[in-house]
């Protein structure tokens, strides 16, 4: 009597399971991350030291322009910590969003040769950005310790939550725009515009109170709905706020922890769900379009 072979659940090629396939191919993900880092620093002398130099130069430019010329270093206590807390958030957002939005097109030659989960590419750019995020975080921590940083559990938790929000939000936007970029290359220019505007549309170079005091109320609410604004303020709450000698309640936006932060998490999750659905619905056409 013949024994029947056990049934196997096969999937037609091109039917990606999203992040489940990414987690199931962790070794392949590691190879792609290594490749991205090697390509980025190929032929350079300083290598990963650029992760320190670039944000350092960016900080000096903004500090001189906003802190010295506009005297914000006098109006905001420990302005250097305040400024760099926002810069590291926006650098993480810009790197994840910018590189993830170009990831599929940049790896078009590989996609045409073999099948592999397409979401590996934007996720790998998130991991590369996190590698570059760590040196900036170390510099920020050193600056905080030098200015008398005394955080509590809520401040430390705020930093973790903010990092999760910015990672999820930027990855969702990256997946959304990398899908658009396959079919419309104008998407790259839109991404550059968003990254350029985002630094000014979030309280990185100024305090949120300026928006609250100088603009209409509805503008303030739209401003706070932005997950980037919430992430920057959570970093301010976690790093800058514990360094101030005379903390005032107006330093932290009202309902930051109880209202705006949960809303930012929900908004990022919804955006990621929509981006994932769009990405997976169109990924079968990527190789043909490229």
Q: Per-residue confidence of the chain (290 residues) as pLDDT tens digits?
A: 445 545 445 555 445 566 777 778 888 888 888 888 887 777 666 667 777 777 778 788 878 877 777 777 777 888 888 999 999 999 999 999 999 999 988 888 877 777 778 888 999 999 999 998 998 898 899 889 988 899 999 999 999 999 999 999 999 999 999 999 999 888 899 999 999 999 889 999 888 988 988 888 899 999 999 999 999 999 999 999 998 876 554 578 889 999 999 999 999 999 999 999 999 888 888 877 76
User: What confidence score (pLDDT) does residue 1 get?
Assistant: 47
| CA distances, 128 to each of 118, 131, 240 (Å) | 17, 5, 26
The first and second tokens of residue 5, run together, are 């072979």
Domain locations in the chain as residue ranges: 44-289
Half-sphere exposure for 264 (CA within 13 Å, toward CB): 32
CA 37/CA 238 separation, integer angstroms:
30
User: What confidence score (pLDDT) does residue 8 get?
Assistant: 45
Half-sphere exposure for 79 (CA within 13 Å, toward CB): 19
Phi, psi angle pair for 7, to nearest 5°: -70, 140
Helix, strand, coil distribution of the chain in percent, nearest 5: 75, 0, 25
Q: In this structure, which long-range contacts are made by residues 33-40, counting pairs with CB atoms below 8 Å and at least 24 apart in sequence?
A: 33/124, 33/127, 33/128, 33/131, 36/124, 36/125, 36/128, 37/128, 37/131, 40/128
User: What confidence score (pLDDT) does residue 9 get?
Assistant: 52
| CA distances, 180 to each of 14, 118, 126, 278 (Å) | 18, 14, 19, 9
Nearest 5 degrees, angle CA 124-CA 273-CA 190? 65
| CA distances, 249 to each of 113, 156, 237, 246 (Å) | 58, 18, 11, 10
User: Dihedral (C-alpha) 151, 157, 158, 159: value to the nearest 10 degrees?
Assistant: 80
């Amino acid at each position: 009597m013949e024994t029947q072979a056990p049934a196997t659940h096969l999937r037609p090629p091109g039917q990606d399971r999203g992040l489940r396939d990414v987690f199931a191919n962790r070794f392949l993900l590691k190879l792609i991350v290594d490749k991205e880092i090697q390509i980025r620093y190929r032929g350079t002398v300083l290598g990963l030291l650029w992760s320190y130099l670039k944000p350092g130069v960016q900080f000096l430019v903004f500090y001189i322009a906003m802190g010295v010329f506009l005297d914000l270093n006098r109006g905001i206590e420990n302005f250097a910590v305040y400024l760099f807390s926002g810069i590291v958030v926006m650098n993480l957002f810009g790197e994840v969003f910018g590189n993830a939005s170009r990831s599929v097109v940049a790896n078009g030659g590989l996609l045409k040769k073999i099948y592999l989960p397409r979401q590996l590419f934007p996720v790998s750019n998130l991991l590369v950005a996190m590698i570059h995020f760590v040196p900036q975080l170390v510099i920020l921590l050193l600056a905080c310790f030098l200015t008398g940083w005394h955080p509590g559990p809520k401040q430390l938790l705020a930093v973790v939550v903010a990092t999760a929000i910015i990672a999820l939000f930027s990855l969702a936007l990256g997946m959304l725009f990398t899908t658009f970029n396959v079919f419309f290359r104008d998407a790259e220019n839109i991404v550059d515009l968003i990254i350029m505007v985002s630094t000014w549309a979030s309280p990185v170079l100024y305090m949120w109170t300026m928006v609250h005091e100088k603009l209409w109320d509805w503008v303030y609410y739209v401003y706070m709905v932005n997950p980037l604004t919430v992430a920057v303020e959570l970093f301010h709450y976690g790093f800058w706020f514990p360094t101030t000698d005379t903390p005032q309640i107006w330093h932290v936006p009202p309902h930051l922890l109880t209202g705006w932060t949960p809303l930012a998490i929900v908004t990022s999750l919804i955006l990621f769900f929509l981006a994932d659905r769009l990405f997976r619905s169109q990924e079968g056409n990527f190789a043909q379009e490229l």
